[in-house]
Structure 1
């Protein structure tokens, strides 16, 4: 096994102070699509646009992000129309995955980008187990026949 450098110190710490402060994120409101633009879209594409506009990362989008989102909307609509052509659909689907990743569309993408989303107060977690929580013993009893 090759050693590529010195053994890390047990008291490792950063010696350089952070020299920047992250500016507050000020997003732009989502652009409205006109009636003509909406009527040309497939229903699945309209639903995708509505989900993107209502998503937890949408409040952080700048105007350039919304332009990328519009390009993604066109790509999504083309993908919906290309379901008969499998090769084209696969290419468009790969493109959509990249667009959605850039726009922090999924929870995993937001975790990777460290985008915080505050969706309101957290739900209360029950402190005691609900009735019938010991399902393993009951399942074992049912499966073993006794």
Structure 2
């Protein structure tokens, strides 16, 4: 089993209804192929963690990369996992309108800095901490 974390920017401003449509569709499709994860939308940007078997995730990642609703798609981390971080969520979701929680804002901004190289251990660690922070707040 693997986990993949990516970031991207919305190609245009998405309404709440459009974000909800993405969520409903993702939950249905992910449940069908055994993928779990979390999507965070913050100020026009996305960060998403997905987990599952590589033979399910690789084709899904290709479809996500080709989705015209976002741009600047970058895989930040891909690593093996022994257990799921989101076992009960076909797609957890957190919409962060306005400023993100202070303790998470720095992680998000760091992922947008050019010094972070996709796939680097540092970027993967920052992305993981950000997603974990939102996951804990969502269970709150």
Instruction: Note whether the superposition's TM-score is higher than 0.5.
Output: no
Structure having the higher strand fraction is: 2
Structure having the higher helix fraction is: 1
Give the TM-score of the pair, scaled to structure 1.
Answer: 0.24
Greater length-normalized contact order (CA 8 Å, ≥ 6 residues apart)? 2
Greater Cα radius of gyration, structure 1 or 2: 1
